[in-house]
Amino acid sequence: MTSLEICAGAGGLTMGLDAAGFDPVALVERNRHACDTLRTNRLGWRVLEMDLRDFVAQEHPYTYDVDLLAAGLPRVKSPAAGRRIEDLYERELLEAAVWLVAEVRPRAVLIENVPALVSDDAFTGIREFVRLELEHLGYALHWRTINARDFGIAQDRRMGLLVALQPESAGRFRWPEPLRTPPPTVGAVLWKSMAARGWPGAVAWATRADRLAPAIVGGSERRGGADLGPTGTKKAWARMGVNGGGIGDEVPGADYQWDPNGDVMNLPKLTVEQVALLQGFPPHWRLQGGKTARYRQLGHATPPPVARALGERIATALRSRGGDLP
């Protein structure tokens, strides 16, 4: 099956969908570092480095009638919070994605965004816009909030999702079921990397970090540097023995002296490679750009295992024909 992905970022969504059987005909992404990441890891992928608002399907006829249009869009601000002109960009991208459906006419649509988009009253107007446009085109809409922890990710990461399908497939779609095994903890995922340079305290650190991570966020390209989130999130990381005020260049060495109850600024920082593991990216995936650029690509990404679980259910609905599942 084929897919067109917009706002592709570092490829987390694409990677999972690829594993579920979707071959991307094109990936649209405006960030040059993310485009370099996509080109580096998959030489055969067609990467279009451009703003989604400038993408015209007629100029790329190979995108017509793909099986799936997938979008890991930047987080939409609520109308109350997003009053500044620059904060309207995310809303414009969501609208552009919906209008692109009318051009491409895919058999299915997948949009990932903030959980509040699914049910929060502040987003009612945006949901109504999406519903009216897509139902007018004949799609049946399925909204759901899921948590990445239910799919093997060591994070408490809630995700807002929309899956829309044409009538012949809509009745056969089922959301993926959570895994029966509990998710790994931060300590379980990262202790080997923490010990990679001989730090003898890595096991003790992993015991302290025996819990899920807060949601990893990438921050805005327009403001700030790379850190692990707002004040409350940084405090949660500190309780796990991590300095969330920045991203580290390397893990602790053999001579690192760890005081788990000491100054937060002296606690170890996570590296970009460790954040990638917490996001479910495989170790071989090579992110491009400087440290901040690489971290932001991860923070904005869809964890690949979640994308694969969604892709497999969409693929099942598209392959099956002739009525609802029993």
Q: Are residues 170 and 23 in the same domain?
A: yes
Residues spanned by the domain of 197: 186-298
148 and 202 in a common domain:
no
Say whether pTM exceeds 0.85: yes
Mark whether 58 and 164 lie in a shared domain: yes
pLDDT surpassing 70 at residue 220 = no
Q: What is the dihedral of CA 230, 248, 307, 29, to 10 degrees?
A: 90
User: Helix 304-319 crosses helix 12-19 at what angle (to 10 degrees)?
Assistant: 40
Residues 128 and 17 in one domain: yes
Is 123 within 8 Å of 117 (Cβ atoms)?
yes
| pLDDT tens, position by position, 150-160 | 999 999 999 99
Q: What would the two tokens of residue 209 be? A: 């970090």
Q: Residue 221: which of 29, 22, 31 has the closest Cα?
A: 31
Exposure string (b/e) for 202-225, b if CB count within 10 Å is 16 or more?
A: beebbebbeebbbbbbbbeeeeee
* Closest listed residue to residue 102, CA positions, set 139, 61, 47: 139
- Per-residue pLDDT tens over the stretch 243-262: 999 999 999 999 999 898 89
Say what the pLDDT of residue 136 is: 97
Q: Are residues 168 and 250 in the same domain?
A: no
Give me the pLDDT at residue 323, please.
Answer: 42
Average pLDDT over residues 180-190: 97
CATH number of 95's domain:
3.40.50.150
Task: Clarify whether residues 313 and 165 are in a common domain.
Answer: yes
Judged against a pLDDT cut of 70, whether residue 82 lies above it is answered with no
Do the domain assignments include residue 326? no
- 324 domain-assigned: no
Instruction: Give the model confidence (pLDDT) of 278-301 as tens digits.
Output: 999 999 999 999 999 999 999 999
Asked if residue 123 and residue 20 are part of one domain, the reply reads: yes
The reply to whether 96 and 142 lie within a common domain is: yes
Number of domains the chain is built from: 2
Percent pLDDT > 90 in the chain is 88
- Mean pLDDT over the full length of the chain: 93
Q: Per the domain annotation, does 234 fall within a domain?
A: yes
Does residue 30 have a pLDDT over 80?
Answer: yes
Please give the biggest Cα pair distance in the chain: 65
Same-domain pairing of 285 and 312: no
Q: Identify whether residues 214 and 265 lie together within a single domain.
A: yes
